[in-house]
Amino acid sequence: MKKVWKGRFKKELDTDVNKFNASVSFDKRLFKYDILAGQAYANALYKIKILKSDEMKKIVNGLQKLLEKENTINFDQYEDVHSAVEIELTKLIGDVGKKLHTGRSRNDLVSTDTRMYLKDEIIEIKKMLKNLMQTLVDFADKNKDTYMPGYTHLQHAQIIAVGHWLLSYFTMLKRDYNLLNFIYNRMDYLPLGSGALAGSNYNVHRMTMAKALGFKDITENSIDAVSDRDFVIDFLYFSSLVAAHLSRLSEEIIIFNSSEFSFIEIDDAYATGSSLMPNKKNPDIAELIRGKTGGFYGRLMAGLTLIKGLPLAYNKDLQEDKPLLFESVDQLKSILSIMNKFLQNIKIKEDKMSEQLLDYFMYSTDVADYLVKKGMSFREAYEIVGKLVAYCIENKKSFGRLEIDELQNLSELFDEDVFDLFHPEASTDSKKTPGSTSFKYVSKQILAARLFLQFEK
C-alpha cells in the first residue's frame, strides 16, 4: 500500500496494521471533493508564487483528468483518498504533482472534503424532505373534511380531521427542514489553510479559497478547524430526529392498517405476504422504517462517544466519523424516498373511521363546554359530564341515545340543542384557536404549508 509519509520509517508497515489503518475503502467517496479542494489550493499556491503559472495549470488540469478517470483508479492500493489523489496526480503529470501538498495537511484537507460532501448531500436531502412534505400536504388537502378519532394514551380522545393528523407530521418535518438549514449554515466555514493544527507557513489566501469552494467564510481557529466534528454530530442528530418522526408515522400506519382498526389500506405494490399464511398482507415498509431508526440512534451515540475526551487537535479516532456519516446519509435518503412513495399509495377507509366516530364519549369535552357557555364553571361541568359518562356505561347507552329528561336530571341547563353537538363537523368546527382541527384552521395550515414549500429554498 503506497504511502505519502515515507522518510522517517525504516520498516514497512505490518500487513495487518495496513489493513486496520486504511480508510480508502470508505473515504474514496470524497474523491471529487479532494480534487476540487486541490484545484483551489493550487491556485492559492500560485498567487503566493509557490507555484509557477504553468505548474499551477498542470496541476489543475491534471486533477480534472483524474476526476474524469475516477472509475479506473485502483483505490485499494492506497491508504486513504488523499494519498490516492496525490500519488495518482504525480503519476499523471510528474514530480510537479508533489508540490500540491505544500503547507497543507490531510487534517485540514479531510475536514474540508467532508464539509463539502455533506453540504452537497444536505442540498439533496432538503429536496427529498420537501417532496415528502408536499405529499403530506396533498394528502391532507384531500382529507381536510374526513374525520377520525384522535387519541391520547391510544384511547379515543376527541374527533379530529384526517388532514389535521397528517399535517402534524408535516409540522415535524418542517422543524427538521429548518434544523437542516441551521446545520448547513453552522458548518459553512472552510478549514483549508489550517495545516495540521497550527496554521500554515505559507500565506495562502483562505478567503479566496473559501469563495472558490462555495464556503461563506473561513474557520476562526486552526486547532478547532482540524479537530471539529460538530457538523457530523449535528447531522447524525438531525437524521436521528427525522427517523424518529418517520418511525412515529410508521407506527401509526401499522396500527391503522391492522384488522382491529382498518383505517387505511396499503397498496399491494407496497406490502408483502407471508411464506405460510396466504391471508397475510404485511406493512413491511413501515416496519422497516421503524426498525432502521435504531441504527440512526446508534450512529449518533457512536459519534458522540467518538469525540468524548479526545485531546486536541487531530487524532486518528476521527477517521471513524465517516462511516457513521456516510451510512446515515444513505439510510436517510433511502427512507425519505420510500416513505414518499409509500404515502402516495395509501388509501383512507372513511367508512371504517366513521364506525369509530359512533363513540359519542369523544364529544364529552364539547358537552362540558356547552354547559360552560350556559354559565356553569368548567370544573362543575366536567364533573357533570363525568357522571353522564358513568350513567351511560351503567345503562349501556351513548350520548346520542339519551332522552332530554335523562340529561336534565343532571343539569337543567341541558336543552334540545345539545344534540346538535353530536356530529363530527360540529365537534371539529367548534375549535376556535389557530392550529386546531377545525375546517377553517386546517385549511389555513394547508395554505401556509404550500407557501412554505413554494418559497423555501
**Is 262 designated active site?**
no
Give the domain CATH number at 161: 1.20.200.10
Q: What is the pLDDT of residues 328-374, one digit of tens each?
A: 999 999 999 999 999 999 999 999 999 999 999 999 999 999 999 99
On whether both 120 and 95 belong to a single domain, the answer is no
Question: pLDDT value at position 158?
Answer: 97
CA pair distance 229, 304, nearest whole angstrom? 10
On whether both 150 and 283 belong to a single domain, the answer is yes
CA pair distance 224, 8, nearest whole angstrom? 27
Domain assignment present for residue 283? The answer is: yes
Domain assignment present for residue 200? The answer is: no
Evaluate whether 150 touches 160 at the Cβ level (below 8 Å): yes
Give the domain CATH number at 83: 1.10.275.10
Considering the chain, what percentage of its residues have pLDDT values greater than 90?
Answer: 92
Q: What does the pLDDT average to over 71-91?
A: 95
Q: Is the pLDDT of residue 4 over 90?
A: no
On whether both 287 and 173 belong to a single domain, the answer is yes
Considering the chain, what percentage of its residues have pLDDT values greater than 70?
Answer: 98
**Mapping DSSP to helix (H, G, I), strand (E, B) and coil, where does residue 400 land?**
helix
**Is 334 designated active site?**
no
Under the banding of pLDDT at 50, 70 and 90, the label for residue 88 is very high
On whether both 417 and 283 belong to a single domain, the answer is no
Q: What is the pLDDT of residues 202-232, one digit of tens each?
A: 999 999 999 999 999 999 999 999 999 999 9
Domain hosting 72: range is 15-102
On whether both 139 and 275 belong to a single domain, the answer is yes
More confident residue, 209 or 2: 209
Question: pLDDT value at position 9?
Answer: 67
Select which of 25, 258, 274, 377 is catalytic: 274
Q: Is the pLDDT of residue 7 over 70?
A: no
**Would you tell me how many other CB atoms lie within 10 Å of the CB of residue 220?**
9
Round the CA-based radius of gyration of the chain to a whole number and report it.
31
On whether both 225 and 305 belong to a single domain, the answer is yes
Domain assignment present for residue 8? The answer is: no
Evaluate whether 369 touches 430 at the Cβ level (below 8 Å): yes
Q: What is the pLDDT of residues 289-321, one digit of tens each?
A: 999 999 999 999 999 999 999 999 999 999 999
Last residue of a domain, one of 63, 78, 102: 102
Q: What is the pLDDT of residues 46-62, one digit of tens each?
A: 999 999 999 999 999 99
Q: What does the pLDDT average to over 169-178?
A: 98
- Structure-block grid coordinates of residue 441: 384552521
